[in-house]
Amino acid sequence: MQGNDIEKLIKIIAKLPALGARSSRRIVLHLLKKKETSLLPLINALQNVADNIKKCPICGNFDTDEPCAICADSARDSEVICVVQDVADLWAMERVGLYKGQYHVLGGILSALDGITPEDLNIESLFSRLNKGVIKEVILALPATIDGQITTHYLLSRLKEYPLKITTLAQGLPLGAELDYMDDGTIQLALSARKEI
């Protein structure tokens, strides 16, 4: 049996993504046992984030500075912008470390079936950035799903008005994949995007 406060903490942690009641109890128990080394540093870190984290007004990324470190970095290529669905996608691109341009986070993708319209997304600010005339290339790094493609085609139809180079990420076989295990759609896409070597 736990006290009310501990029970409340277990319930809050259990609501976090990828965690359930059992993992939540294990985490809470660990924090309680390691108060000095785990619990207090965690409280400090959470408090710092809660006090300082901001959504970048330019790209929509999360950071403690405004604008975010990526937008403020003068060493990055300000002529290329990569449009992503979510901050998680931005982090994935940054993990690779190859891309050195700017980002724009849409905060979701269009979905006719779920009723998500362009007004619900961070799209107008993308065009405000383009209107400044600095950007020369837009990379549409959106999911290879039906909804992702609806968003890509919507953006393409509006981007046509701008004298820009517009690119999308390649679609096809993932690294380490064997053809035998791939679904028909992936093979079909890979075939249509084949390139000469």
Partner 1 sequence: MQFSGEGYIIKVRKHGEQSVIVTLVCPHHGKIVGYVKGGLSKRGFGVYQVGNYISYNAYMRLEENMPSLRGVELLHSHTADFVLNNDKIGALVSMCRLLDECVAQNDDLGAFFNVIDDFFRHINDENWLVYYSFFEFYLLDFLGIGLDISECAVTGKHTDLRYISPKTGRAVCAEAGAPYKDRLFAYPQYIIEHNYMPQKSEIANVLTMTGCFLEKNFLMQHNLKLPENRANLLGLVKTYKL
Summarize as ranges the residues that interact with partner 1 (CB under 8 A): 17-18, 112-114, 144-146, 149-150, 153, 156-157, 171, 182-186, 188-189, 192
Closest CB to partner 1 among residues 5, 178: 178
Closest CB to partner 1 among residues 101, 108: 108
* Residue 14 in tokens: 């259990």
Closest CB to partner 1 among residues 78, 186: 186
* Residue 172 in tokens: 């096809």
Closest CB to partner 1 among residues 2, 145: 145
Tell the smallest beta-carbon distance from residue 190 to partner 1 (Å).
9
Sign of the CA dihedral 60, 63, 65, 71?
Answer: negative
Tell the smallest beta-carbon distance from residue 8 to partner 1 (Å).
22
Tell the smallest beta-carbon distance from residue 12 to partner 1 (Å).
17
Distance between CA atoms of 78 and 92, rounded to whole angstroms?
A: 20
Tell the smallest beta-carbon distance from residue 149 to partner 1 (Å).
5
Tell the smallest beta-carbon distance from residue 186 to partner 1 (Å).
5
Closest CB to partner 1 among residues 101, 118: 118
